Amino acid sequence: MYQYKEVSPGRFVLSLDNHVEVSEALAAFCREKDIRAGVVGGLGAICEATFRFLDPATKKYVDKTFGEQMEITNLTGNISRKDGQVYLHLHVTASRRDYTCIGGHLLTARINGACELFVESFHGAEIGRRFDEETGLNLYKF
Ligand code: FE
């Protein structure tokens, strides 16, 4: 699903295997390394992505899937825990064949080419999440 190198304590460079789903592979890596808080960044090439938009007026999610070849021009996110599980918060900007970009809160992305990530673990620290009624979001719980 992935290969990685720990370049300094708690800092990893990952190469995800072709055709895997990005959030699934990243969550598996966090479980393997028991990363409970951290940050992630990266780039890659994908053939399908599902983005999520939260309408603040209705607090309802609107999900949309784009089934086309795109470059991840930026993936940024954080790693925390919710209900005892790895909780990823990922945002992506992706460029299309015509060089325009789309993006949003990332649910899933299927690699078609390569995906190179950098993960920094906050050295055994744990950060949880709580559901916030006002925003409809799972906010950090400190
Ligand atoms: Fe988000």
- Ligand 1 center to 140 CA (angstroms): 12
- Give domain status of residue 89, yes or no: yes
Compute, in angstroms, the gap from residue 117 CA to the centroid of ligand 1: 18
d(CA 82, ligand 1 centre) in Å: 15
Answer whether residue 109 is part of any domain: yes
Q: Could you list the residue range(s) of the whole structural domain that residue 90 is in?
A: 2-122
DSSP, residue by residue, the chain: -EEEEEEETTEEEEEEPTT-BHHHHHHHHHHHHT--SEEEEEEEEEEEEEEEEEETTTTEEEEEEE-S-EEEEEEEEEEEEETTEEEEEEEEEEE-TTS-EEEEEEEEEEEEEEEEEEEEE-TT---EEEEETTTTEEEEE-
Q: From the CA of 104, how far away is ligand 1's center (Å)?
A: 7
What is the domain count for the chain?
1
Is residue 69 included in any domain, yes or no?
yes
Q: Is 139 a member of any domain?
A: no
Task: Give the Å distance between the CA of 126 and the centre of ligand 1.
Answer: 20
Phi and psi torsions of 59, nearest 5°? 60, 30
Asked if residue 129 belongs to a domain, the reply is no
pLDDT in tens, 6-29: 999 999 999 999 999 999 999 999
Is residue 82 in a domain?
A: yes
pLDDT digits (tens, 9 = 90+) for 47-60: 999 999 999 999 89
Residue 133 domain-assigned (yes or no): no
The answer, yes or no, to whether residue 112 has pLDDT greater than 90, is: yes
CATH (domain of 78) = 3.30.1330.80
Centre of ligand 1 to C-alpha 106, Å, is 7
For 68-82, the pLDDT digits (tens) are: 999 999 999 999 999
**Taking 90 as the threshold, does the pLDDT of residue 124 lie above it?**
no
Please indicate, yes or no, if residue 138 is contained in any of the structural domains: no
